[in-house]
Structure 1
Amino acid sequence: MAEVATSATPDQLLVVIDPSARRADGESVRIAKDVLSGGAAHTKVCLPDSPEEFARVLRRRGARRPVVIGDDRALVRAVALLHRQRELDACALSVVPVGPVLGLARSLGLPTGAVAAARAVLDGAVRRLDLLVDDSDGVVLGAVVIPPLTAREAAGREEAAGEGPRGAGAESGAAPVHPWLRTCQSLVRTLAAARPARGAAAPGGGGPARLRVEVDGVTLIGLDRAVGSVTVTPGSGGLAEVEVRPASADTSPLRARGRTVTVSGAHFRYRADAVVSGPVRTRTWTVREAAWGLTLPG
């Protein structure tokens, strides 16, 4: 987290209330709106009903300072919009966290009470924070997590591996396999992989994946070792913190810091802040130092 850049002062506010906040906790929305209206010289309140309207309101903010009342998803949406418009440098965000998903807001240091959060908007200070940007121009404020494979994904990969040349009857001396038989074999393998052994935990916790993780071009872990999970978070000073947990429980996690992190291998899904993306075969995240501003309690 960078040092304080500029002080926030009560001025012209554009208060954008996300629909999820209105549905989840209308009373907190009302309290926050009253505190902001009472403390700022001029306040314009907007209630967009769709992501498109949310984007249009933010784009037409003019000289007003945007304040988002909503949860983590609304915050990420606002940062992503400003990033795509290439206006993150010139526009600091203020947020009153209201809604069902607030883990990111808490981790960033935002108060989660309506009054405290609204007072922080009026009396706090803008801090510049690092940002992760991926190779599809997506943004990550908190963390990227690649979890273990689900049982279904693991079964699918075993099935795909088993239906190579042998399944096609291409191995020398192997008898051809009829398509209907391959279908039956595939179904049996999938059911067997998804069914837990007696006394074992139900599927869903997942299994190991084969992924290559590179930090600034240096391989942290290769495809020859099974990976339990991968976590990438924007740290400080323009460097990302990377942690790779090998599949073996008795092996210590691997850690590194760098500006660019690339994960590749078999198709994998990942969670960036509150959104699950994928499957993809490769993804690269690059740190943008002090890329965006957030008003935090002074």
Structure 2
Amino acid sequence: MAEVATSTTSEQLLVVVDPVARRSDGESVRIAKDVLGAGAAVKLCLPEGPEEFARALARRGSRRPVVVGDDRTLIRAVGLLHRHRELAGCPLSVVPVGGALSLARSLGIPTGTVAAARAVLDGVERRMDLMVDDSDGVVLGALRIPPVTAPPDVMDPEEEGLPARPWLRTCQSLVRTLVPAGRPSRLASAPEPGPSRLRVEVDGETLVDLHQPVEAVSVSPTASGLASVEVRPASVGAEASPLLAEARTVTVSGAHFRYRADSLVSGPVRTRTWEVREGAWGLTLPAPG
């Protein structure tokens, strides 16, 4: 892992550049480095893989971490800090670089390189809600069941620092369903055909039960410490009205199902519970006005 230190002001930044961003858009990475280096003391880390990425964050010391990369890089950084129970006390800054930036955009992060880098230097911390599931996974934006078709670059377990499974890599082309429950699959699944029979519980109360087929379930954190839940029942004749609720915990159970959380497709699982954590992490955003 290459590290380069530059010094301009007393503020200390640890800038961790995702290797995919370096390969796909080296010019934007260079611009981000120049803008950040002109306004702060920067330690630049160029990890070659997920293990080096994790080590760079773990060894940040008193430096404020800045990650340069796409939505996957942001999710990886938040997940690592959460698993080490350091997320609450470690505000994160992001310079989006890459093709998959919809999550960053939805969170209010500028997607232009110069604007994003200036927001890192001049912005303010905003506390953000997220959802944590019962396998210790995090959701920053939204989840959907069944998963919408994902782009071909959906995250690989090894790319995200999960345990390597050589037998899985060898057999993937033949047996896609052997990915353990709760782990992201390398190949995103298309929406499962036909309606699903799922039980959806919100704060312990049943919103829809197994006897009612559903077309889709979507859950996303709001700004109020609650999750917004929408269940679309399978229509018979006229289109059925969606069932709406807000809750702090959401449990989905039933036949084995997959779900897409942010850009990850996970499963199959028989049950999963998500809990909203209010103000669980800090994100640097442009100052108001």
Give the TM-score category using the shorter length: 0.7 to 0.9
The alignment partner of 1:209 has SS state of: coil
Matched, 1:28 2:15: no
Cα offset, 1:85, TM superposition: 0.9
Cα offset, 1:17, TM superposition: 0.1
Distance 1:246 1:49 in 2: 46
Cα offset, 1:237, TM superposition: 2.1
What are the within-5 Å matches in structure 2 for residues 219-298 of structure 1? 219-248=206-235, 250-298=239-287
Question: Is the 8 Å Cα contact of residues 79 and 138 (structure 2) preserved in structure 1?
Answer: yes
The alignment partner of 1:269 has SS state of: strand
Matched, 1:37 2:48: no
Distance 1:292 1:204 in 2: 31
Question: Is the 8 Å Cα contact of residues 148 and 228 (structure 1) preserved in structure 2?
Answer: no
Matched, 1:69 2:56: no
Deviating above 4 A after TM superposition, structure 1's stretches of 4 or more consecutive aligned residues are none
> 5+ residue gaps in structure 1?
1-8, 151-202
Structure-2 residue corresponding to 1:53:
52
The alignment partner of 1:280 has SS state of: strand
Q: Does the C-alpha gap of structure 1 residues 10 and 259 become closer, same or farther in structure 2, counting only changes over 3 Å?
A: farther
Structure-1 residue corresponding to 2:18:
18
Q: Does the C-alpha gap of structure 1 residues 121 and 243 become closer, same or farther in structure 2, counting only changes over 3 Å?
A: same
Q: Does the C-alpha gap of structure 1 residues 117 and 227 become closer, same or farther in structure 2, counting only changes over 3 Å?
A: same
Q: Does the C-alpha gap of structure 1 residues 239 and 22 become closer, same or farther in structure 2, counting only changes over 3 Å?
A: same
Distance 2:94 2:253 in 1: 35
Question: Is the 8 Å Cα contact of residues 149 and 209 (structure 1) preserved in structure 2?
Answer: no
Distance 1:53 1:148 in 2: 30
Q: Does the C-alpha gap of structure 1 residues 71 and 223 become closer, same or farther in structure 2, counting only changes over 3 Å?
A: same
Superposed CA offset, 1:61-80 (max 9, x none)? 00000000001111011011
TM-score by length of 2: 0.79
Identity of aligned residues (%): 73
Cα offset, 1:205, TM superposition: 7.2
Question: Of Structure 1 and Structure 2, which has the larger fraction of its residues in helix?
Answer: 1
Distance 2:282 2:87 in 1: 7
Larger CA Rg, structure 1 vs 2: 1
Cα offset, 1:131, TM superposition: 0.9
Q: Does the C-alpha gap of structure 1 residues 33 and 289 become closer, same or farther in structure 2, counting only changes over 3 Å?
A: same
> 5+ residue gaps in structure 2?
1-8, 150-189
Q: For the aligned residues, what is the CA RMSD?
A: 1.7
Q: Does the C-alpha gap of structure 1 residues 204 and 108 become closer, same or farther in structure 2, counting only changes over 3 Å?
A: closer
Question: Is the 8 Å Cα contact of residues 92 and 282 (structure 2) preserved in structure 1?
Answer: yes
- Equivalences, count: 237
Cα offset, 1:89, TM superposition: 1.4
Question: Is the 8 Å Cα contact of residues 211 and 221 (structure 1) preserved in structure 2?
Answer: yes
